[in-house]
Copies of this chain bind each other. A is one copy, B any other.
Amino acid sequence: MAVTLESIKEAQLKIAPYIVETPLLRADALDEFLGCEVYLKLENMQVTQSFKYRGAISKMLTLSMEEKQNGIITASSGNHGKAVAHAARTLGITATVVVPDTASPFKVGAIKQLGATVIECDVTERFAMSARLAEAHGYTLFHPYDDAEIIMGQGTAGLEIMSQHPALDTVIVPTSGGGLLGGILTAIKQSKADISILGAEPHNMPRYSESLAQKKRVKVESTSTIADALVTDQPGERNFPIVQMYADGMLKASETSISKATKLLLMEGKILAEPSGAISLAAILDGSYLPAADEKVCFVISGGNVGFEQLAQLETVQYE
């Protein structure tokens, strides 16, 4: 099934009873720091504290009775795994989650608490391993982003953004495999809304910037980043063409800027996000994009799964 505006609208109807329509806030206090009119789409307030629940529950609801009985498996750096585990529990389905060794212990703990079986492996092996186990056990494989149903689910965030504030100029979307970006792009661009949409990814893992420059899906070196939810080394096969067709640009953010953005959002914006969720602000702090002073920019805060202990890392960070 192709990812279209129509299919995203259908997904929205289907998942409405399960998800939160997250707030889109005007955050005046951040204007002076980011140099524009700041709006925040708070997916850190979504069920399981990230946008991932949209796609997870959307796909879970399409399973046949037999697939439900056989159980599902997925590979995830944390947020998708938590979302899948929660969606599976909600619908009474057995779930296995393969997590990379880069995943935050906080996130892995949350997945276990939701009753899923957790298997750890090297970050570069996780998709191959989950595919092998799916084959061996008859599990349905839930790819975290390279899946039409998942992209449609994530796209519902784009429909909400348009209905909550139709007059935005720009939306900046945290990007890893491209599920959220692909979904939001399809929803907003196929609606013919006059909104510029940019992705934001870690400078350490610029899989989309490189791929767009080379006009093909490039695999980048797998390095570490504080943005532990954004560690995919290559754009998804289904996601890349959507990004290539519709995105107005791809921004990069340094590790320092990601830390600064997380602390700025907390101390001045009063919103707790995980570092990956604050990367859209980081791209601005980095000078990767220079908005106009009266530009209405919506920063998608993609997730909030961060342990209290992790906040200590921000203690010495200065954002001014």
Residues of A within 8 A of B (CB): 20, 23, 25-29, 42, 44-45, 47, 49, 263, 266-267, 269-273, 304, 308-309, 311-312, 314-315
Contacts and interface: CB of A to CB of B under 8 A. Distances in A.
Contacts of A47: 28-29
Contacts of A271: 270-272
A164 to B, nearest CB: 12
Given A271-B271, A312-B312, A20 B28 contact: yes
Contacts of A28: 20, 45, 47
Contacts of A312: 312
A26 B269 CA distance: 17
A270 B272 contact: yes
Nearest to A307: B267
Nearest to A28: B20
A255 to B, nearest CB: 19
Contacts of A25: 23, 25, 45
Number of this chain's copies in the assembly equals: 2
9 contacts: A23-B23, A23-B26, A25-B25, A27-B45, A29-B49, A42-B270, A45-B270, A263-B308, A308-B315
Contacts of A269: 45
A78 B191 CA distance: 48
A45 B268 CA distance: 8
A308 B308 CA distance: 12
A212 to B, nearest CB: 32
Contacts of A315: 308-309
Nearest to A314: B308
Contacts of A304: 270
Contacts of A272: 266-267, 270-272
Interface centre among A45, A47, A267, A271 (most CB of B within 10 A): A45
Contacts of A42: 270
A273 B26 CA distance: 18
A42 B270 CA distance: 9
A279 to B, nearest CB: 16
A308 B270 CA distance: 12
A206 B263 CA distance: 35
Contacts of A26: 23
A49 B308 contact: no
Contact of A270 (B27, B44, B263, B267): B44
A51 B163 CA distance: 29
Contacts of A20: 28-29
